[in-house]
A and B are shown apart, each in its own frame.
Chain A
Amino acid sequence: MLTSKLPYKFLVMFLVFSCVLIVAFSLLVYHDSGKMIKDIEAIGTLTPEQKAVYTRYMKDITESLVSLAFYVFVLAFILSLFFSRKFLVPVRELYRGAKALKDGNLDIKLDVITNDELGEVTKAFNDMAEALRKKTDELMRKELYVSAMLDPLWIADMDNIIIDINPAFTRLFGYERDEVIGSSIFDFLDEESEKIMRRQFHERDKGIASTYQISIISKTEGLIPVLISGAPLIENGEVIGKIGIIKDFRHELALRDALKEERDYTEAIMDSMVDALLVIDREYRIVKANMAARVSAGQNITGKHCHSVFHASGEWCFLRGMECPVKIVFDTGKPYKTIHEHSDATGSSIFHEIIAYPVKDRYGEVKHAVEIMRDITERKRFEDEIELKNRELTTLNSISKILSRSLKAEDIFNNVLDRIVDLLGMDGGGIFFLDEMNRVLKCKYHRGMSEDFIKSTGRIKVGDDIPGRVALTGQSIITPDISKDTRSERSVLRHSGIKGYACIPIRGKEKLLGVFFIFSFNPYVFTPEEERILNSISEMMGIAFENIRLYEKMRELYEQQRLRRASEQKNLLDLSSMLASTLDIKSVLASSLSLIKDSCKADLAWMLETDDKGDLILKTASGNEIEEGTVIYPDGTSCIEKYAMERKTPVVVSEIASEPKFYVSERVKSFNTAISIPLYIGKKTLGAFTLYYRMFKEPKEEMIHFLQTVGSILAVSIERSRLYERAIIEKGMADTILESIADGVMTVDIEGKVISMNRAAEEMIGLSPRGAVGMQACDVFRYNEGNTELRWRMGECLEAAMQGNLKTVEAYLYNHEGKVIPLMLKSAPVRDQKGEIVGVVYVLRDISREREIDRMKTEFVKAVSHEFRTPLSAIVGMTEMVLDGEVTGIRSKDYLSMILSEGRRLSDMVSDLLDIARIESGRELFREKEIDFESALKDVERAFKSQIEKKEIKFSSRIEGDVKGYKGDEEKLKQLLRNLVENSVTYSDRGCAVEVVVRRHGNSIQIVVRDEGWGIAEEDLKHIGEKFYRGRHAARTKGTGLGLSLCKDIAKMHGGTLHVTSKRGEGTTVVVELPIREGE
């Protein structure tokens, strides 16, 4: 079959046309044939039969043609019926579709019935319907969007007439669609908004979109602030109108206000922060800075680079190898804390403690860093100061340790020098000691200087150069740069390269001992603190130096004493053996005198006695041939001997010729020095013996003392010789000697049996000598097991002495009264005249006092080190923790204040010690002032208020009688009161009473502090007031053992006394008696 319908149509048309032609032809044939017949008839040739045949044929042809036309017509009709059906169905379908489309039914889909042109048309129709539906859907959806838009929207034409709005517009502004459409946009705007809008439209006409804020007048609510996003409507490249999407801005405005408020608030908070706060971007630019930051670094720092603001550098800190907390935060994304030195707006250095935090965006990327910078310049300064103080204290402590531990000058001064140089970071220093005889300073210890330099400058005359000037004036010279100092104009130091220089005098109690100096090759400014330290070190050195001198002197004295005692003992033994070996007192005296003369290396010795007439006659002489009994000075003559006898005291005349008050006998006029010792027993004066020297002689005290001893022995022996001449000799002079010696003396025979024992020994042992005589010496001490060691030692001594040696040992004696006495036990052989050893003499010396001094020294060291340890612990430990950054913020401030308070405690202790030292040395100024005891008592009570309340102490204070007008050192007396009350409060149990009374007592003021505390043990009582002595309570309480000692010194300073009475468990009463001086 053919797909096209055209051939069929052509065929039908052809058939219909053929049919019409056939009919027309038939009619024509019929008409023409009739006419032909008539014409033939007219001619008349035609027979009727022929006519009938013609007529029949004509009729047959017409009938055939008509039937043919009929058939053709029928065929054409059938064909057209067939084709019209084929054509009508799709056309009808198309008509239906078109009608449905017209009715708005877009969902139509026509059946494609034929495969011909109409089928194609149907398909095209279907496609068209589909496209239309889609487009409509799209439009409907758009319409829906617009309707559903929450934000209002308007569309206006070029004349600003609103042509459309969406429902949201109605919702927001209350106008119905009909009310708005056709109105001008400006009908809905106030004046201000209209201006803005017109400006905007100007833009819009150029085809530019923008967003702006105006207010639209609503139907019900008045002006509503809105944000409009306006855009031009463009068609074919031409602006045909505009669309505005309106955003209700009330909420945003409120939000913006809130935000602004919030931001203002945040900024206010930031600005109210004491610490500087910066926000820094990745370019290291300051994005934000709070007030503190701006004040510190400059108002216009925002936008600048942080390194240019705080480090005055154009380069990033990390490029210069410096630590940059911001970079660390950017790199790690974690907070970072550090301390930096910055420069402020004026360029001076400040220390910042920096905490840098990352500010991350929502992807976790660090966009900014926040730096909080705390100005810790003060704290740093404070910490540095504390550290310095700490170092100073440690140095002072170690210096004081060195000074108190060693008595070796070399150790001490070398060590001290090292510490000072070390402490101040100096390049060297030295110590000059003053040679008083030659008025020369000699540099004994030095650091950091060449030997050559020392050779040329190590000896300086007092007054010369700088050390000499310091020694002369006693004033320190401290200068940051000696080469520029006017005082160094003539000094060798000026061109030595030394810059920073300090020269401090070292003073002893009474005089200058030397100077010490330290120097630095760079200029060095000594702070007042450092000057103070140098002064206290010099003070300590002075004390140490004197201690050393004292110690050396003591050693020397001890040595001298030992030798003197040895010679004395020898002399005395000689004397006693002489006295024992002769019956003649005269020869005894003569020999004694000669012995004395020799021993004292005198040129003449004589002994004068008063005769019945009162004249002074010669008893005996050595070194001059004068007859016994010669009257030397008649009665009434004013002579040296008489003077000594009258005063019963030795008289030394250094230069006889220059003492006009004495008449001098011709016999001794040639001598220069005379030492006269009176001889007396009790009130009775017997005479005097005198030693004469040709040379000037300044006898030592020991010699006078020895001569006095001899004098008393001689006096006794003369007196006794007078009374019991024989008897005394028989008894032996030795006893007398022994009795008068303070040391215990015990003599034993070669078998070790006790021959004699003097009173001192007897008292020491607590035993009667009679009981001991005849006993084995060792057995004398057998009564107590504690004496085993002593007995053992005595055995050793006996052995040594028997071999002719001297021996000295130390041991403890447990005496009969239960007392333990430390003894120095000496033994020496006793020889007869032939020199044979006939016995042994033991000398027992009580060395309690020496031991006590030793103990006190140990206690001192112990107490000082112990008392310094606790505060040092806090200082060292807390400083360590602060420096390690383990405590921060407020806590670190707490720590620092604790460090300060402990530092003060240390300093108080040092002051107490220095106070005592000062008072004892007599260097403390007495600041006399009238004392108001009433206010002093109030002050004290106030000072202890919290302690009193805590321990529930019943505290009372009162004044009795008239105590006004007393003048004293107020500070010191207050300190005394404080110390006494503190003791009472400390050494009392909860709830005990403490009473303070100040009263007039005769011609003095009495301060009485009484408590019901723990009391003081009897053994401790006698040590009360000794420095650092801490009795039985030491284990339970803390203290320096300096308080009472200081009180005692203060009382003494006022010419008064301090008395303590106490009983253990009952309480203590301290009475301070301050005499009222004349004129008060």
Chain B
Amino acid sequence: MSKVIVIDDEPFILMMVEDKLKRAGLEVIALRESVNAIDVIRKERPDLIILDWMMPELSGIELCRMLKSDPELSSIPIFMLTAKGQEEDEKLGLKCGVSRYITKPFSPKALLQIVLSELKGT
């Protein structure tokens, strides 16, 4: 079973994504805080990470940079799920190593499809 870590400080979004992915039979670890996320990721070794950008204390993009600079974790694909819809934001996200840049509002169905196709690819 593939393992996905979802990090978003918006509890509703987090719950929704968690529900959706779990229903599809994925193992989901949902985190509301990004600060200690890296430890969890190191321990759990997920197949995919879904990240919100705007989070207090440690933003998604910072966390993404940290993950990508860690040789052990850099191979885990990262999806950015964010309300930042500007083109330059997306460019920055992709530059930092994000595999897919998904802007809110999004369809959980579509998200699941992208997630599944990514997991299938790996």
Instruction: Give the interface of A toward B (CB within 8 A).
Output: 862, 865-867, 869-870, 872-878, 880-881, 884, 886-887, 891, 895, 898, 901-902, 1035-1038
Contacts and interface: CB of A to CB of B under 8 A. Distances in A.
Given A866-B85, A874-B13, 6 more contacts: A866-B83, A867-B83, A870-B83, A877-B20, A877-B108, A1036-B59
A869 B104 contact: yes
Contact of A898 (B12, B85, B105, B106): B12
A561 B54 CA distance: 44
Given A1035-B54, A1035-B59, A873 B20 contact: no
5 contacts: A873-B105, A877-B20, A877-B106, A902-B12, A1035-B59
Contacts of A880: 107-109
A873 B106 contact: yes
A811 B44 CA distance: 53
B57 A1036 contact: yes
Interface in B3-60: 10, 12-13, 15-16, 19-20, 23, 54-57, 59
Contacts of B19: 881, 886-887, 891
Tell me the dominant secondary structure on chain B's binding face.
loop
B57 A884 contact: no
Residue in B23, B84, B85, B108 with the greatest tally of chain A CB atoms within 10 Å: B108
Contacts of A875: 105
B13 A870 contact: yes
B117 interface: no
A869 B16 contact: no
B56 A873 contact: no
Contacts of B86: 862
B103 interface: yes
Given A881-B20, A1036-B59, A1038-B54, A876 B105 contact: yes
B13 A869 contact: no
Nearest to B82: A869
A400 to B, nearest CB: 15
Contacts of B23: 886
B101 to A, nearest CB: 14
A872 B105 contact: yes
B110 to A, nearest CB: 9
B12 A876 contact: no
Contacts of A866: 83-85
Interface of B: 10, 12-13, 15-16, 19-20, 23, 54-57, 59, 83-86, 103-109
Contacts of A876: 105-107
Contacts of A1036: 54-57, 59
Contact of A869 (B20, B59, B103): B103
A881 B16 contact: yes
B54 A874 contact: no
A980 to B, nearest CB: 20
B108 A865 contact: no
Nearest to A881: B108
A1035 B53 CA distance: 8
Nearest to A1036: B56
A1037 B108 CA distance: 24
Contact of B83 (A869, A878, A901, A1037): A869
Given A881-B16, A881-B20, A870 B56 contact: no
A874 B16 contact: yes
Contact of A873 (B57, B59, B83, B109): B83
Contact of A870 (B15, B20, B57, B104): B104
Contacts of B104: 869-870, 872-873
A909 to B, nearest CB: 13
Contacts of A872: 104-105
Contact of A884 (B103, B106, B109): B109
Tell me the dominant secondary structure on chain A's binding face.
helix
A877 B15 CA distance: 11
A387 B24 CA distance: 25
Q: When A and B form their complex, which 6 residue pairs have the shortest distance between CB atoms, in order from nearest?
A: A869-B83, A873-B104, A873-B105, A872-B105, A874-B12, A869-B104
A982 to B, nearest CB: 14
A878 B12 contact: yes
Nearest to A858: B86
B88 to A, nearest CB: 10
A881 B16 CA distance: 8
Residue in B10, B12, B15, B56 with the greatest tally of chain A CB atoms within 10 Å: B12
A869 B105 contact: yes
Nearest to B56: A1036
A892 to B, nearest CB: 11
B4 to A, nearest CB: 16
A870 B109 contact: no
Nearest to A870: B83
Nearest to A394: B105
A902 B10 CA distance: 11
A886 B109 CA distance: 11
Contacts of A884: 109
A876 B108 CA distance: 9
Nearest to A887: B19
Given A881-B16, A881-B20, A870 B107 contact: no
Residue in A880, A895, A1037 with the greatest tally of chain B CB atoms within 10 Å: A880
Nearest to A878: B16
Contacts of A874: 10, 12-13, 16
A901 B10 CA distance: 13
Contacts of B13: 870, 873-874, 877
A887 B84 CA distance: 28
Contact of B105 (A877, A901, A1037): A877
A877 B84 contact: no
A877 B85 contact: no
Contacts of B103: 869
Nearest to A884: B109
Nearest to B84: A866
A891 B23 CA distance: 13
A877 B83 contact: no
Contacts of B12: 874, 878, 898, 901-902
A180 B119 CA distance: 87
Residue in A872, A873, A886 with the greatest tally of chain B CB atoms within 10 Å: A873
B36 to A, nearest CB: 15
A1078 to B, nearest CB: 47
Contacts of B107: 876-877, 880
B108 A869 contact: no
A394 to B, nearest CB: 9
Contacts of B57: 1036
Contact of A1037 (B56, B85, B106, B109): B56
A902 B54 CA distance: 17
A873 B59 CA distance: 19
Nearest to B15: A898
Contacts of A877: 13, 16, 20, 105-108
A1035 B23 CA distance: 32
A758 B84 CA distance: 45
A862 B20 CA distance: 29
A877 B23 CA distance: 15
A395 to B, nearest CB: 14
Nearest to A1033: B56
Contacts of A1038: 54
Nearest to A876: B105
A862 B55 CA distance: 18
Nearest to B24: A886
Contacts of B56: 1036-1037
Nearest to A986: B56
Contacts of A891: 19
Contacts of A870: 10, 13, 83, 104
Contacts of B16: 874, 877-878, 881, 895
Contacts of B109: 880, 884
B90 to A, nearest CB: 13
Contact of B20 (A865, A886, A1037): A886
Contacts of A898: 12, 15
Nearest to A865: B85
Contacts of A887: 19
A865 B12 CA distance: 19
